[in-house]
Amino acid sequence: MDILALNCGSSSVKYQLFDWKEKRLLARGGVERVAVSDSFIVHEVPGRAPYREAHECRDHRAAIGLVLETLAQESFHGKKKGTIPVDAVGHRVVHGGEHFTQSMLITPEVLDGIRAVQHLAPLHNPHHVSGIEAVQALLPNVPQVAVFDTAFHQTMPNRAFVYALPYEWYQKYGVRRYGMHGSSHLYVSKRAAVLLGKPVKNCNMITLHIGNGSSFCAVRNGVSVDTSMGMTPLEGAVMGTRCGDIDPAIPGFMMEQEGYTSKEMDAILNKKSGVLGVTGRFSDRRDVLVYAERGDEKCQLALELESYRIRKYIGAYSSVLGRVDAIVFTAGVGEMGWKIREMAVAELGPLGIHLDKEKNMAAVKRGVESDISTPDSRVRIFVIPTNEELVLIEDVMGILNGTYKAHTEFDYSFIHTDFKVG
């Protein structure tokens, strides 16, 4: 069984092809600049150098067609070229609203449900719908599954997800906290439980997904009880280009001062703020770190802002949870940014959080799980590489096999001690 995992963005289609029987990645890649101009595909097979090919893709259907054509040129499992090696497709879907609390086989009703919450994620869901429709047209007999970023957080109590706004906004329009990166928080929280040697239902932890987009999650007894992203991915952490938490009066004030339209202001908050906004030129933390070491004051400030925000959330979620067994860093910056990790947990000793600086500096290897806390730290500090694609693939197989259940009951491969990371 070969499963194609798709993540359709506004101008990109990222993919992975996974051999379920052999439990191995067959290929990965992405089509960039979809519906823009000068689009191209980058395709990679393990053990071979990636290659890039220019190919105009006017829409997502053309881009997915290019992906399938590229995969058909391979001879996976000894199949002759020209055969499309796809038995099922799993789609990452950013927003499922309140209706979708777990992954679902895509039926006409499910697709209508995804369309119905497009207003909650206008930069994401319409493109997911386009990807689903493209696969329906190109591979009409292949089953498709939607895996929702928001599903993991549907266990939050209403005190955590209701905003202090007119309540009818929630009732009429669904204005509430939903959260994102659910598959990542699911994966690393369950891996952390394995490292703790305890059932996940007995674990409290704070998971920190830190990348270009960042979100934090308070996990009590294995389920999400609070998270930093809100109705959209804009709330919460300082991110690569997103502002995170700000005074909500600022956008209106700046619109009056500069004459911005609502669309322009939305673009500024999402694409020109965060680390990029503070430094004026960088969103990649590697660049920020280099220039901070050279004395660039704005880069130093950006590091301090991001780390301070992380530390505030750790403190807040510690009070929410009462007892914290572990803090987990994951995603690109969380896995590789040792300096940001060090700054984020500084001065948290009174909470029983103690970092081993040497272990932390050494924990910058891809695909390796690390404990970077000191022996006397009451709270363990882990670096765990996330694997959202594996969650997606196992959800697809569980649904197709009829074994799929809510994540608290589902037998994921990575909840076992003999699971091999990487």
Known catalytic residues are: 149
Environment class of residue 107 by beta-carbon count within 10 Å: exposed (0-12), middle (13-18) or buried (19+)?
Answer: exposed
Residue type, 357: K
Please give the structure tokens belonging to residue 15. Answer: 């993919």
DSSP 3-state of 402: coil
DSSP letter assigned to residue 78:
G
Please give the structure tokens belonging to residue 322. Answer: 């009462």
- Tell which residue, 219, 236, 220, has the closest CA to residue 228: 236
Count H helices, E strands: the chain?
A: 15, 14
Host H or E run for residue 125: helix 125-138
Rounded-to-integer distance, Cα 8 and Cα 114, Å: 14
How close are the terminal C-alpha atoms of the chain, in Å? 20
Rounded-to-integer distance, Cα 295 and Cα 291, Å: 6
Query: Hey, CA dihedral for 77, 82, 88, 91, is it positive or negative?
Result: positive
Please enumerate in sequence order all residues whose Cβ is within 8 A of that of 63, keeping only pairs 6 or more positions apart, or say none: 13, 31, 34, 39, 57, 134
Residue 133 CB neighbour total at 10 angstroms = 14
Q: What is the CA radius of gyration of the chain?
A: 21
DSSP letter assigned to residue 150:
T
Pairing type for strands 380-383 and 326-330 reads parallel
Complete DSSP assignment for 240-272? SS---S--TTHHHHHHHHH---HHHHHHHHHHS
How distant, in Å, are the alpha carbons of 38, 160, 262, 389 from that of 216?
36, 13, 27, 19
Q: What are phi and psi of 169, to 5 degrees?
A: -65, -40
